[in-house]
A and B are shown apart, each in its own frame.
Chain A
Amino acid sequence: MSQEKIRVIVAKPGLDGHDRGAKVVARALRDAGMEVIYTGLRQTPEMIAEAALQEDVDAVGLSVLSGAHMALVPRILELLKANGQDKVGVFIGGIIPDEDIPRLAEMGVAGVYGPGTRTDDIVQDIQKFAGQKS
């Protein structure tokens, strides 16, 4: 009996210490039947990429509130690619200025979610992405 589950890492790169949003999203993904690997606060891009590799995830969810996303996200994308995981979807939540969103999309980020996003929307986007992947 083969039963595939969507596997997602939820991580907080960088130094800000607010993980409530990440936890809410982790729980919503769990309730949608996904397996969420929650890695906690203050993760370096290297730690996140390593976890994504070992856990063979379909998607990486990053929560950034510190404003450091333009430094952290490209590095994470680069490391994923170096590990042969260029098909992994990267989704970002937090405080992301509007003008950065197109630049992030250009880098290959699959979705950006600001305050007030419905968790259902995030769930659907990840499901859609994981469905497209194979």
Chain B
Amino acid sequence: MPVAVEDVLAGNRLALARLLSQIENDTAEGRQILNELFPHSGQAALIGVTGAPGTGKSSLVNQIAYHYRHPADGRQPKRVAVVAVDPSSPFSGGAVLGDRIRMHSLSGDPDVFIRSMASRGSLGGLARATAGLVQAFDAAGFEIILIETVGAGQAEVEIARLAHTTLVVEAPGLGDDVQAIKAGILEIADILVVNKADRPGVEQTERALRGMLQLAHPGKRQYHHGRLISAPEPEEKPLNEPEWVPPIQRTVATEGNGVSELLALIDQHRDYLKQTGELARREAARLTAEVDLLVEAGLVDRWRRGLANGWYQEVLARVMNREISPRQAAAKLTASKREEG
């Protein structure tokens, strides 16, 4: 059954659910509807939640969503979407997606929409279609979109490119302070959360994180997206702009302790992003990367279709025979004219 754009925009949950599948399966229909929805997107606050397995990401996402639905200070409840990514099996391609287990307190609320996603072979903590799902939720009027990553470990930096505010969740008793100065996951944190803060060792964990922040205060964020096309350098940040130093918040997600304070920090970070123009810069970097990726895929596709029959296999065979190097082979294959020899 085809999905109607109007139904998605009008808040029809079945239409939205079906659209999300179309996007995940990268169908022509899904791509078409996303094109039509794109002008409606760009309103939502995108909040990423990452961290090692077992730090309590799902429980925390549950609490954050719950607090946005039931604000303590009498503010308007927000419509919340959750995209929770879990790994696909590299062998069978199947997956067991278990993030919903921790999100029971959100059930029965029509203004919450939780979608589990398998990573489908993608590395970096998100699935290839995660950005598309987020765009669909955004266009469908969800004001807060929580994105929970796979949680595999130190290389999950994709989330920083997608989210406006990235929470890195740590828990007591998981590694020493050398973990904290390694590149990658801690560098992307806008807010550090020490969850399970009722457990022993919480002081050491917090001290290690604080030490890391002083040791390696993150400089200006440059996106190394390593794409085919080099994006124009973003404008230099004026020197008098305040720097955001990632705050550390303790939480006990199973009890909800510290979550109101965490929400206040998320709001503060969003205000900071808006006031300094960083929000626009991040959006620009993200959309540039997305366009680059699509251009790259399009070019490769066109190149593949333009290849003479058998030419690719022929060149490849010469590489196998150690006649030419992979680099020479690539030069031959991408040359505008087919040269013999």
Q: How far is the CA of A38 from the CA of B84 in the complex (A)?
A: 13
With A2-B26, A4-B25, A30-B89 known as contacts, the answer to whether A51 contacts B94 (CB < 8 A) is no
Say whether A39 contacts B101, CB under 8 Å: yes
Say whether A37 contacts B13, CB under 8 Å: no
Interface positions of B from 20 to 42, Cβ below 8 Å from A: 20-21, 25-27
Interface positions of B from 280 to 315, Cβ below 8 Å from A: none
Q: Does B107 contact A (CB under 8 A)?
A: yes
Shortest CB-to-CB span from B150 to chain A, Å, is 14
Name the residue in A30, A32, A40 with the highest tally of chain B Cβ atoms < 10 Å from its Cβ: A30
With A46-B108, A53-B14, A54-B17 known as contacts, the answer to whether A34 contacts B94 (CB < 8 A) is yes
Residues of B within 8 A of A47 (CB): 104, 107-108
Say whether B96 contacts A40, CB under 8 Å: no
B interface size (C-beta, 8 A):
30
Say whether B94 contacts A29, CB under 8 Å: yes
Say whether A35 contacts B118, CB under 8 Å: yes
A31: nearest chain-B partner, CB-CB: B92
Say whether A40 contacts B101, CB under 8 Å: yes
Q: How far is the CA of A50 from the CA of B101 in the complex (A)?
A: 14
Counting chain A residues whose Cβ lies within 8 A of the other chain, the interface size class is 20 to 34
List 26 A-B pairs, Cβ < 8 Å: A2-B27, A5-B93, A7-B21, A31-B94, A32-B92, A32-B94, A35-B88, A35-B94, A35-B95, A35-B118, A36-B95, A36-B97, A38-B100, A39-B101, A40-B98, A40-B101, A46-B107, A46-B108, A50-B108, A51-B107, A54-B13, A55-B17, A55-B115, A56-B17, A56-B21, A85-B14
Q: How far is the CA of A31 from the CA of B92 in the complex (A)?
A: 5
Q: Which 6 A-B pairs have the closest CB atoms?
A: A30-B94, A40-B101, A56-B17, A33-B94, A47-B107, A56-B21
B13: nearest chain-A partner, CB-CB: A53
Say whether A37 contacts B25, CB under 8 Å: no
Which secondary structure dominates chain A's binding surface? mixed
Q: Does A77 contact B (CB under 8 A)?
A: no
8 extra interchain contacts, Cβ-Cβ under 8 A, other than A31-B92, A36-B95? A2-B26, A2-B27, A3-B25, A4-B25, A38-B98, A47-B108, A56-B18, A56-B20
Q: Does A1 contact B (CB under 8 A)?
A: yes
Shortest CB-to-CB span from B298 to chain A, Å, is 13
Q: Does B249 contact A (CB under 8 A)?
A: no
Q: Does B57 contact A (CB under 8 A)?
A: no
Shortest CB-to-CB span from A27 to chain B, Å, is 7
Say whether A26 contacts B14, CB under 8 Å: no
Shortest CB-to-CB span from B137 to chain A, Å, is 11
Q: Does A84 contact B (CB under 8 A)?
A: yes
A6: nearest chain-B partner, CB-CB: B94
Q: Does B116 contact A (CB under 8 A)?
A: yes
Name the residue in A27, A46, A54 with the highest tally of chain B Cβ atoms < 10 Å from its Cβ: A54
Q: How far is the CA of A47 from the CA of B113 in the complex (A)?
A: 12
Q: Does A83 contact B (CB under 8 A)?
A: yes
Residues of A within 8 A of B101 (CB): 38-40
Shortest CB-to-CB span from A79 to chain B, Å, is 12
Shortest CB-to-CB span from A26 to chain B, Å, is 5
Q: Does B114 contact A (CB under 8 A)?
A: yes
Selected contact of A55 from candidates B95, B96, B98, B116, CB within 8 Å: B116
Residues of A within 8 A of B113 (CB): 54
Shortest CB-to-CB span from B4 to chain A, Å, is 13
Say whether A30 contacts B96, CB under 8 Å: yes
Q: Does B120 contact A (CB under 8 A)?
A: yes
Q: How far is the CA of A27 from the CA of B94 in the complex (A)?
A: 9
Say whether A3 contacts B97, CB under 8 Å: no
